[in-house]
Amino acid sequence: MARLILFNKPFGVLSQFTDKGTEGSPRATLSDYIDMPGVYPAGRLDRDSEGLLVLTDDGKLQARIANPRHKMEKTYLVQVEGLPDEVALDALRGGVTLKDGLTRPARVRRIDPPTLWLRTPPVRYRKSVPDCWIEITISEGRHRQVRRMTAHVGHPTLRLVRWRIGDWLLEGLASGEWKQVSAPDAR
């Protein structure tokens, strides 16, 4: 039976178990939080992003979660600079052209500020520039894709929290916590 871990990755933690090439580095890794040999992340989450990271010891399941050809949806709660209008949101919904090509259409909506853990360090606030939260669901996972998409429509990301991968939700996990759950059949 495959092992499957849901982990709420804190801000500043690398999505890997070692920080190769920087011996003695103070950067936090998964090994600072998870002591379960043989499991590996199914996909990545940037160091400056937070939220749901799935780990497993099943290579087929890992590929199904991480490989964009399987179109597994990922939902993010995103605090953006400014107040995106419907034109900006519609651009995200239709797909935007980034340096590496057109993104797949996304599901996007404005949301009320979610109840989340405090982030260390906190997001910088500017009195003269408003911000708001959006929920964005994508079915691919390019390098820093959500950040690049929001910047493309004129609303840089201030905070990014992955909330859902497929049917797995972050709900109930505090920052830095993990739990083992039943793994689906990866065939």
Any idea which residues carry the catalytic annotation?
46
Evaluate whether 168 touches 5 at the Cβ level (below 8 Å): no
Which DSSP string do the residues of 162-178 spell out, in sequence order? Answer: EEEETTEE-TT--TT-E
Q: Which two tokens stand for residue 21?
A: 């090439």
Q: Tell me if 42 sits within 8 A of 56, measured CB to CB.
A: yes
Encoded tokens for 77: 């709660």
Element (H, E) at 131: strand 131-138
Q: Which of 4, 8, 2, 3 is nearest to 164 (CA)?
A: 8
Cα 13–143–78 angle (5° rounding)? Answer: 70
The closest of 137, 129, 141 to 64, measured between CA atoms, is 141
Structure-block tokens of residue 161: 């929290």
